[in-house]
Each structure stands twice: as structure tokens, then as C-alpha cells.
């Protein structure tokens, strides 16, 4: 059972620590401390999810147990991004920089010619169709057996997998959650559809893992033994269950919230239409 206390140090952790430090410095300079306290709790929970994914015993077990690897994916795709976006950390972390650095940097990024490719790339990535396509595509591509097995045999490929999962997680959830200065272009029905699409992708992968008559990933199937003595096929079924039930919860909550807002938001056009029909 020593693996339960086996905490790891993966390369994304310094970036996480730097982000946390910048946020802590900027948080001390915020005036609305009541809202700041709520944001700090959400931000801490989001960073905690990243630490669990990158440094906890899950990181030590992910090459031996498929369910541990899948839990990491859920944390990176569906837990950490919405929590961090809900905490609205960008302006807070930005305040950590001196004012004489912030102003020219902001001007350069907003107006300079050299930053134009960055602005255009940002607008392209932030467009809803691109964000949704990248989210679904990255999840499906990394679960192709050839690529998934490569993550088990190469630390570099493994880090690339987790980095892209986290990146598309933020792209996807930024379409659902307004996190100033980031604002979604989507209305409530489209946000609900986004969440439903994510549930559909997860369900499709779940069915593939459950219905497969044998283990899909040689990296797990070829292991001589696994912690707990679980078989490779049972491990795959457990991973499928984690993807289907805990992994779907954040998307299901988002679906219900935005469907409710679409139907019952008193200021929305749908509510006006319903009121006119009464």
C-alpha cells in the first residue's frame, strides 16, 4: 500500500505554483474581499484538482491502472477548468505585476503589430465551433490505442497528452462560463448544447470501453500484475464507469443550469415568449 503515499513531481507543477503565487499577490490588492474570498476558494479547489492530477498517487498509478489515468483526465477536462474559470483569476493574477509592466504589456498585446498573430490565433481558438471541435477531437484522438499506449511508454508524450487535455478543457469551459475579461459568445441554448455534446462524446467512449471483449490498450494488458490484483478488463470497465458517471456530472450540471436559465430567465426572450403564451 506504499503507493498510496507516493506523491510525484511532474513538470506542469512549477507553472501551477507560479500561477498560485501570482494569484496570491494579486488577491492581497483586491478591494472587494467578500467576493475575493469566494473566488479564492474556487481557485484553490481548481488548483487542488491540478495537484491531484499531476502530483498525487494518481500520477504514480496511472501507468499501472487505467482507472487512475482516467481519473486524471476527468480532473484536467471537467474539474479544474470550470473551477478556475468560476474564480475569475485573470485580473487578480495580473495585479501581481508592477503597474509599469502591466500598462505597456497590455498596450502591446492589444494594439501592436507584432502581437497581431497572437490576437488572431486567440480569436480563432476562442470561436465556439473551433473550441468544441478541438475538445471532442483531442479526447477521441488521445484514446486511440496507438497514441494512448505511447503515453504509457514516454514521459514526454504523457505530458503532451495532459497538457492538451487541460488546454482544450479551458477552451471548452470558457464557452460556458464567463470569466472576466473572457466572455462567451453563446446564448443559454447553445451552452446547453455544448454540455450535451460533451456528455455524448463521453458516453460513446464509455460504451466502447465497456463493450470491448478484451483490453484495448496493450500498455495495461501486458502488465504482469496491477495494484490490488485487478484484471486488465475489469480495470478498463472501472475506467469506463469513472468516465461515464463522475466524468459526466460537471457537464450534466452545466446542461441543467443553462437549460433552466434559457427557460426561466425573466429577462430572456424565451421567458418573454412563455409569458406571452399564458
Categorize the per-residue pLDDT at 4 as very low, low, confident or very high, splitting at 50, 70 and 90: low
Would you state the pLDDT for residue 8?
Answer: 67
Residue 172 in contact with residue 78, Cβ under 8 Å? no
Percent of the chain clearing pLDDT 90 (strictly above) = 54
Would you state the pLDDT for residue 115?
Answer: 74
Residue 110 placed within a domain: no
pLDDT digits (tens, 9 = 90+) for 208-231: 999 999 999 999 999 888 888 899
Q: Per the structure, how many domains does the chain have? A: 1
229 backbone φψ class: left, alpha, beta (φ>0; ψ -120 to 50): left
pLDDT digits (tens, 9 = 90+) for 132-151: 999 999 999 999 999 999 99
Residue 71 placed within a domain: yes
Which residues, in sequence order, are bridge partners of residue 182?
Answer: 179
pLDDT digits (tens, 9 = 90+) for 177-199: 999 888 898 999 999 999 999 99
Q: In the predicted model, what is the mean pLDDT of the chain?
A: 86
Q: Which tops the pLDDT comparison, 208 or 30?
A: 208
Residue 54 in contact with residue 12, Cβ under 8 Å? yes
Residue 166 placed within a domain: yes
Percent of the chain clearing pLDDT 70 (strictly above) = 89
**Stated length of the chain:** 278
Q: How far apart are CA 119 and CA 66, in angstroms?
A: 39
pLDDT at 278 over 80: no
Residue 146 placed within a domain: yes
Residue 237 placed within a domain: yes
pLDDT at 274 over 50: no
Residue 116 placed within a domain: no
Domain of 140 in residue numbering reads as 2-97+125-277
Residue 195 placed within a domain: yes
pLDDT digits (tens, 9 = 90+) for 63-101: 899 999 999 999 999 999 999 999 999 888 888 887 787
Q: Say what the pTM is.
A: 0.86
**Nearest Cα residue to 86 out of 21, 168, 180:** 180
Q: How far apart are CA 158 and CA 62, in angstroms?
A: 10
Across the range 127-136, mean pLDDT stands at: 95
Cβ neighbours for 256, distance < 8 A, ≥ 6 positions apart: none
**Nearest Cα residue to 42 out of 160, 139, 173:** 173
The three three-digit cell numbers of residue 21, written as one number: 503565487
Residue 113 placed within a domain: no
Amino acid at each position: 500500500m506504499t503507493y498510496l503515499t507516493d506523491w510525484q513531481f511532474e513538470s506542469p507543477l512549477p507553472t501551477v505554483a507560479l500561477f498560485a503565487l501570482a494569484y496570491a499577490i494579486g488577491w492581497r490588492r483586491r478591494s472587494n474581499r467578500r467576493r475575493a474570498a469566494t473566488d479564492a476558494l474556487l481557485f484553490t479547489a481548481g488548483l487542488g484538482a491540478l495537484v491531484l492530477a499531476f502530483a498525487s498517487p494518481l500520477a504514480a498509478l496511472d501507468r499501472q491502472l487505467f482507472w487512475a489515468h482516467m481519473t486524471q483526465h476527468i480532473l484536467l477536462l471537467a474539474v479544474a477548468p470550470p473551477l478556475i474559470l468560476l474564480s475569475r483569476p485573470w485580473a487578480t493574477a495580473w495585479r501581481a505585476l508592477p503597474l509599469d509592466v502591466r500598462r505597456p504589456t497590455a498596450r502591446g498585446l492589444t494594439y501592436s503589430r507584432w502581437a497581431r498573430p497572437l490576437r488572431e490565433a486567440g480569436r480563432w481558438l476562442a470561436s465556439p465551433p473551433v473550441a468544441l471541435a478541438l475538445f471532442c477531437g483531442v479526447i477521441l484522438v488521445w484514446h486511440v490505442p496507438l497514441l494512448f499506449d505511447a503515453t504509457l511508454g514516454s514521459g514526454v508524450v504523457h505530458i503532451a497528452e495532459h497538457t492538451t487535455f487541460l488546454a482544450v478543457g479551458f477552451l471548452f469551459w470558457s464557452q460556458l462560463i464567463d470569466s472576466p475579461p473572457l466572455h462567451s459568445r453563446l446564448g443559454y441554448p447553445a451552452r446547453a448544447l455544448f454540455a450535451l455534446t460533451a456528455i455524448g462524446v463521453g458516453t460513446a467512449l464509455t460504451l466502447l470501453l465497456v463493450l470491448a471483449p478484451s483490453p484495448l490498450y496493450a500498455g495495461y494488458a501486458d502488465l504482469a500484475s496491477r495494484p490490488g490484483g485487478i484484471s486488465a478488463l475489469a480495470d478498463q470497465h472501472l475506467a469506463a464507469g469513472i468516465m461515464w458517471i463522475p466524468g459526466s456530472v460537471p457537464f450534466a450540471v452545466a446542461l441543467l443550469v443553462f437549460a433552466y436559465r434559457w427557460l426561466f430567465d425573466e429577462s430572456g426572450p424565451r421567458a418573454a415568449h412563455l409569458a406571452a403564451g399564458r
